Amino acid sequence: MDYITEGFFRALGLIFSMNEETWSAVRTTMRLTMSSMALTLLIGLPLGFALGYHEFRGRRIIRTAADTLLALPTVVVGLIVYAFISNRGPLGKWQLLFSVKGMAIGQTILALPIVVALTASAIENLEERLRFTLLTLGASGWRMAVTCLAESRYALLVAAMTAYGRIVAEVGVSMMIGGNIKWHTRTITTAITLETGKGDFALGIALGLLLLLISFAVNVGLSFVKHRTDS
């Protein structure tokens, strides 16, 4: 039982001492999460907008597909991406396996359905009047999309936070694509898996608390931003 309390105190120790190895995992986690989030939003927001705004044949099917993909298991994504980027796979020559870039691709595939599905329903739920107003004001194309997305910014923030949660907490893709290489692709979650595997439960708990703390900081930052744009 003492490993639970020990874990708590070691978390404090880890945070205040910040030894080089932990710091490296924290840095990798941040770099990876930022890359994955950027890719996901860059691809997901336009896709989600298109899906929510336009009426076209097959739209319902694509929406259902996006909703289904919300349940993609991380190891399946890891396996599929591995098959493609392994040296024997079709994209092998790009040398993405065991790299942060490869991990970011996997995590993007994982989080993309969340952003697409939630953005699409946010746009669908916008008042019909807004669209007409914008049209009468002569808005079109690019400007229309930006305004619609800006008007549903809170719903989009929820989409981004959900995607962030899935990305920062996953271990399947990071382990399979990253390989948990010390100083390079070891993230906080793969380090937790390793320490648990090594029987060091206390360190595992400590790292878990550290990850929560980072997410707490991110959320505090976002609520600050939200507050600022409100007023």
Partner 1 sequence: MKAKRTGIRRVILAALAAIVLVISTGASYAAPVLKMATTTSTDNTGLLDYLAPIFLADTGIELQWVSVGTGKALEYGRNGDVDVVLTHDPESEKKFVDDGAGVGPRQVMYNDFVVLGPSSDPAGIKGKPVNEAFGIIALKSAPFASRADKSGTHMAELRIWQAAGVPEPDRESWYIQTGQGMLDTINIAGERDGYALADRGTFITYEASHKGNPPVVILVEGDETLKNQYSVIPVNPAKHANVNSELATKFADWLVSAKTQLDIANFKLEGKQLFFPNAK
CA distance 82 to 78: 6
- The nearer residue to partner 1, 89 or 165, going by C-beta atoms, is 89
Asked if 6 touches partner 1 (CB under 8 A), the answer is no
74 touches partner 1 by CB under 8 A: no
Residue 104 vs 120, nearer CB to partner 1:
104
Q: Name which of 121 and 185 has its Cβ closer to partner 1.
A: 185
Residue 197 as a binder of partner 1 (CB under 8 A): the answer is yes
Q: Which of residues 39-58 bind partner 1 (CB under 8 A)?
A: none
> What does the chain look like in DSSP terms, one character per residue?
-HHHHHHHHHHHHHHHH--HHHHHHHHHHHHHHHHHHHHHHHHHHHHHHHHHH---TTHHHHHHHHHHHTT--HHHHHHHHHHHHSTTSTTGGG--TTSHHHHHHHHHHHHHHHHHHHHHHHHHTS-HHHHHHHHHTT--HHHHHHHHHHHTHHHHHHHHHHHHHHHHH--HHIIIIITT-TTTT--HHHHHHHHHHTT-HHHHHHHHHHHHHHHHHHHHHHHHHHHHHH-
**Tokens 């929820």 -> residue:** 158
Q: Which residue number, 35 or 121, has a Cβ lying nearer to partner 1? A: 35
Site string for partner 1, 143-182 (x = CB under 8 A): ---x---x----------------------------xxxx
Q: Which two tokens stand for residue 148?
A: 């619609």
* 53 contacts 148 by C-beta, under 8 angstroms: yes
Among 47, 77, 97, 192, binds partner 1 (CB under 8 A): 97
Applying CB under 8 A, what is the total number of residues that bind partner 1? 27
Task: Pick the closer one to partner 1 by CB: 13 or 64.
Answer: 13
Task: Please tell me whether residue 88 binds partner 1 under the rule CB under 8 A.
Answer: yes
76 in contact with partner 1 (CB under 8 A): no
93 binds partner 1 (CB under 8 A): yes
Nearer Cβ to partner 1, position 60 or 93?
93
Shortest distance in whole angstroms from residue 225 CB to partner 1: 8
Contact positions vs partner 1 (CB under 8 A)? 27, 30-31, 34-35, 38, 86-89, 92-93, 95, 97-98, 146, 150, 179-182, 184, 196-200
